[in-house]
Structures are given as C-alpha cells and as structure tokens.
Chains A and B, each alone.
Chain A
Amino acid sequence: MKEPVFIGRKPVAEPDLEELVGRVALGDQEAFAAVYDVVAGPVLGVVRSVLRDRAQSEEVMQEVLVEVWRTAPRYRSDRGTAINWILTLAHRRAVDRVRSVEASAEREHKAALLDQLPEYDEVTEQVQTRLEREQVRRCLRTLTELQHQAVTLAYYRGLTYRQVAEALALPLGTVKTRLRDGLIRLRDCLGVTA
C-alpha cells in the first residue's frame, strides 16, 4: 500500500501530540478530540492548498482525521513525528483526490495552472502560524524561479512531475532535478533534519 515515509524533527512546538496519538491508539476518544484540535487546521490547510474547493477539502480533512483514528495503532514515533505523519497523510490524500477527479482536465489547462499558484492570503490568518508561514515564504523566495514553480506545482497543486514538466514545457529530467534541488534549498533554509 501507499505507506508514506514520515520523519523529522517537530516543526512546531506541540508538546504532547505523540503522547496523544499513543492514547488514541488505545481507543481514547478524548485524546482523539485533543488531536483533532491540534491538527485539523494544518490538515485542512494542506488539503485546501491542493484541492482549492472548500467543500471537498473539508471532506478530505475529515477523511484524514478518521484515518488518523483508524491507523493510530500503527503509528510509530521512532519513524517520525506525529505531525509529519499526519500532514504527509493529508497531502497524500489530497493528491489522490485531485488526481482521481481532475487528472485529465488538468492536463488541458496548463496555462491556467500557472495562474493558480497558492495565494497565502486566501487562507485564514492565525497568529501561531504566522511565523512559520513567514519562514516558509522567505525560504521559498530563495529558490530559483524554476525550482519554485516546480515545487509549488507539485506540492500545492498535487501534480505529478510529468504533469509539472508538461505545464512548464520542460524535459522530465530537468523537473526531477529542479524538484530535488529546490527541496535541498528549502530543507537547508528551514533547518530541517531527519
């Protein structure tokens, strides 16, 4: 199956998320409610950045949270933080949805795609994430334009690298390396370690 790799240091200070997920794994519904309160906003944000449509995004967000409940017993903290596990799951689900629904249509709208790069102002401002967002924006600005476009189309629009290559009229090999180089820069700029 499509088990995501998840790993890394805690991107935000959520002291008890791992412990909460551990309790969820034992069927603790109160702990699940607490997990929901911590992750629902980020999950909806990730999903909506890919899907755009609010109703669909809400649906997928709920699916992701139910999936968290269902698969919490399989979560292993030695393989990565809980927030990364959940956001990786969320992104994967959003991408699956966008590909199943829009895959063919999207290929026909290459030009439109480029106009749909995410506008961060669209999502609700939240004080606790403003710093995080500023840092990500700052680091995105350190990418070359091609890196930025490739990473943004892949992550925030849910395109495969082949679709990215089509949208940007670039050879496949170029897109592969732009994605990788872009992530190397972002990783170093954000100070991510695994």
Chain B
Amino acid sequence: MTTRHDLHTLTGAYALHALDEDERAAFRRHLDHCDSCAQEAAEFSATAARLGLAAVDTPRPVLREQVLRRVTAVRQEPPGSAAAAPARWRGTPRRRRAAQWALAACLAGAVGLGGVAAWQHDRAERAHVAAQRAEQRVSDISAVLSAPDARTARARFDGGADGTLVVSRRLDRAVFVAAGMDRPPGGKVYQLWLNDHGTMRPAGLMDPGRESEAVLLHGDVVSASGVGITLEPAGGSDRPTSAPIALVAFPA
C-alpha cells in the first residue's frame, strides 16, 4: 500500500508525466488534500515546461496550413459544463451533433490510443461530414469502428492526404477513412482493393467529389492481407489498371 509519505515524493514523477494511470489518479486525489504537494507539483510542472522550451524545433510550413484548415471543422468545447454552447452552434440540429459525437466516440474506442483524442475528433468529424448523407452507412461504419476487436492501420499519401484502415475480423468488415485526398483527374476515380496475398479484389469506389470519406469495404475481409488504392477510370475496374498509390497492410 502506498503511504501518504510515498505519495508526497511522487510530485516529481507526476509533473514529468511519469506515473501510470492508476497512480496518477491516486496522486490527483491526494493533491486535493495536500496544499504543499499541489504547490510543489505546480512548480515542477512549470519547471518541466522549461525543459520543453529548451527543445524548440522548426515545423515545416505545410503543417501550419493543415492545422489552420483542420480547426475550421473542429467544434470548440464550451467554457464550462454549466455554460451555454457558443452562439454559432445554437442552430445546429441536435441529431447531427449527436451523430458526430457518437462517431467520435467510436473512433476513440477503435483507435485505442490515449494521446490522439484531437486527431480522432477531427478525423471523426471529417468522416462524419463525408457520411452524413447516408445515415445507414454511418451506422454500418460505426459498427466496425466500435467493434471490440477493431484494429487500425494508417497510411500517408504523397501530397499530405492520409488514410486510416479499421478492421474488425469478427464482423469480417473493414472501413477505410480517407482525409485530405487530392481530387482525382477528370474521368478518374479512386478505387479500393482487398489484397488477397497479391491478387486484388474490387472493394469499392471513393466519391470523386470528396477529399475526405469513410468507405465500408465490399467483400469479406478475413482472407485478405491488406488494402490497396488505385486510380481507375470512372465506374471502376475489375482489376487494377495502374500502380497502387497506396498499400495498407491489415493491422496485426
């Protein structure tokens, strides 16, 4: 059992984010009752920030554009739990917002990484924007994203687009979430393929009018080892006619 004295010596580890979740929670409860610990933890947090400031790096300019573009689609939290939502959200239909958060929650559960909440939210919003015209599709997709055995893999394309593949072997289904895709050239479309160990099987088309979309892949998933994307003539092809622009292996 951890004694009070032990807890007090954890101020350093706490400020450096060096506690595991259980201890962190216990220590936070302790802080509520220990003013001197809270003071010390605060000073240590500020000290840790100085360690951080010593490590400035220069971000590539493209990252700035991406972030500024992303936040235009990200809803801000209200100031406090009791506070009213900001005025510009007042007119938003309740249902749409509920669906947005539900999808965010699904993605959060599916991805299972504690540190990517913002990314998940953003991605979920993008996925939702792409999916809002088809509620059924959202619910099918959500089933995959929220499946207990769902696993994810990510891919980055040339030009800054990225894709997330979410696979549930139990449901035998997979969802591909693309964000920031370049428009395909006129008369072309992005086609998704399931990779049966070298043989590509058509798995669906992406909407050429959207840069971000969540696609429920056609066909059974269990036998496949990954997903490929090619640029094909409108309407799609029976087999790939061009080299893949991306290949994503199914997550282990």
Contact = CB atoms under 8 A, between A and B. Distances in A.
Contacts, number: 267
B47 A44 contact: no
A96 B113 contact: yes
Interface in A58-83: 58-67, 69-74, 80, 83
A69 B55 contact: no
B68 A62 contact: no
Interface in A111-159: 118, 120, 123-124, 126, 129, 132-133, 135-137, 151, 154-156, 158-159
B49 A61 contact: no
B-side interface mostly: helix
Contacts of B57: 41, 44-45, 48, 57, 123-124
A136 to B, nearest CB: 4
B79 A25 contact: yes
B76 to A, nearest CB: 6
Contacts of B88: 27
A14 B78 CA distance: 26
Nearest to A40: B59
B114 interface: yes
Contacts of B59: 40-41, 44, 58, 61
Given A73-B77, A129-B56, A8 B45 contact: yes
A33 B68 contact: yes
Given A9-B46, A41-B58, A91-B48, A70 B76 contact: yes
A6 B45 contact: yes
B44 A183 contact: yes
Interface in B19-58: 19-20, 24, 31, 38-39, 41-58
Contact of B47 (A5, A177, A187): A187
Given A7-B46, A62-B67, A183-B44, A95 B17 contact: yes
Interface of A: 2, 4-9, 11-12, 25-27, 29, 32-33, 36-37, 40-42, 44-46, 48-49, 55, 57-67, 69-74, 80, 83-84, 87-88, 90-97, 99-101, 118, 120, 123-124, 126, 129, 132-133, 135-137, 151, 154-156, 158-162, 164, 173, 175-177, 179-183, 186-187, 190, 192-194
